[in-house]
Each structure stands twice: as structure tokens, then as C-alpha cells.
Chains A and B, each alone.
Chain A
Amino acid sequence: AAGVIQSPRHLIKEKRETATLKCYPIPRHDTVYWYQQGPGQDPQFLISFYEKMQSDKGSIPDRFSAQQFSDYHSELNMSSLELGDSALYFCASSLIGLVGSTDTQYFGPGTRLTVL
């Protein structure tokens, strides 16, 4: 079965540079979630999109932005990178249909971002 695809898998950037992470959800899934997992920490919710509209926002810095495109893939754009942005970034997708559904989130393999 098709899974969530994330690219790149690894990314190394310098401080103050920008990074773009991409997520391709499972086909027919309408919702995408982004999570950030720091070293030794649990994943923290950043932002989500349902049918290409932002549906929820968590602890996402103003330096970060994201969007979901017409083909449902999503991109997380990170600017003015800081050392503390080094983390594993997960994308997850689900089929919500109607808001409030309890359908499962399926996670991608993650993008490991290292900021030097």
C-alpha cells in the first residue's frame, strides 16, 4: 500500500538559510499534519491542512510557513534557520472527510534537518 512520502530524507543547512520540506500524502487522503520531533523528545504538532485550507496551528514559529497544494501535497517552508530548528520533521496524512472524524494518521519517514 502507498505510504506518506517525504523529501528530502536528510537536509543540512547553515544558520539563517532557508529550507523547504515536502510531503506527499497517501492517495485520497485530504488532511496533512506536520510535527517536529527534537532529539529525545516527543513529536510536537506544528500545523495541519484540510482540503488545502489551514485547519489548525500549534507551536509553529513565525519563521515557518506551510501550505497544501491542489494535488494535496504539502510543503513546510522554514526561513532564518536557527540551531534549535535541528530536528526530525514528520508529515502525517489522514482521511477526515468531515471535520471531527477519528481516522488514523499515517506518518511518513520524516526529514531530518540539521542546522550548522
Chain B
Amino acid sequence: AQSVTQLGSHVSVSEGALVLLRCNYSSSVPPYLFWYVQYPNQGLQLLLKYTTGATLVKGINGFEAEFKKSETSFHLTKPSAHMSDAAEYFCAAFSGNTGKLIFGQGTTLQVKP
């Protein structure tokens, strides 16, 4: 069964510092992977997705993620954190052939001035 693991429930960085949020998946078949962001009391907004093709995926707000099959990872990065990036981030994988998403446990990103 597909599963998604996010390492670190809380990540704290200083404004301007590199953001790295970790995500690993388990699957016997090539996965389709997503990163969503959730601001307080709001819905889930898609940051980026990997399906096939280029393994480095660029998303909105300066975020990008690299699919590494050998490491079963799909880590999310941003070169320079902004205060507005403070939110909950979810890594998710497409599960089965009906399109349901399996989510990781989420990582809360705190950005310090």
C-alpha cells in the first residue's frame, strides 16, 4: 500500500534562509506526488506536482521539489524563506487508480524574523 512520511512535524527557519521539508514515499510503482500548503483556517492549495518527466519540479511561490526514485524522496525546497511562507505543508501521493490522495502527517513551517 502507498504511504507517505514527512520527517519533522515542525521546521523553523529564519527569514531569508533555505527551506527544506522532507517527504518520503513507499511504493512499488512510480508514484504521482504532490505538495500542498494550508494556511490557518483555509483549504489546501497545490504548490507543485510530479507525475512523469523532469524530476525537478517548480511550483508556485518559489518552491521546487526533486523526485529521487533511488531515495524514494520528494523533498520540498525554497532558497529564501519569507514570513508569508509560514503554514502547514502536506506531501501527498496518488493512491490506486481512483485518484484518492494519501497524505503525510504534515510539517508546520515557522519563519522567524
A residues lining the B interface (CB < 8 Å) = 4, 31, 33, 35, 41-45, 48, 50, 55-56, 58, 90, 92, 94, 96, 99-110, 112
Contact = CB atoms under 8 A, between A and B. Distances in A.
A99 B97 contact: yes
B103 A43 contact: yes
Interface of B: 32, 34, 36, 41-46, 49, 51, 90, 94-106
A42 B90 contact: yes
A48 B98 contact: yes
A106 B43 CA distance: 10
Given A42-B103, A107-B43, A109-B42, 14 more contacts: A31-B99, A33-B99, A33-B100, A41-B105, A41-B106, A42-B90, A43-B90, A43-B101, A45-B100, A99-B97, A99-B98, A104-B46, A107-B44, A112-B41
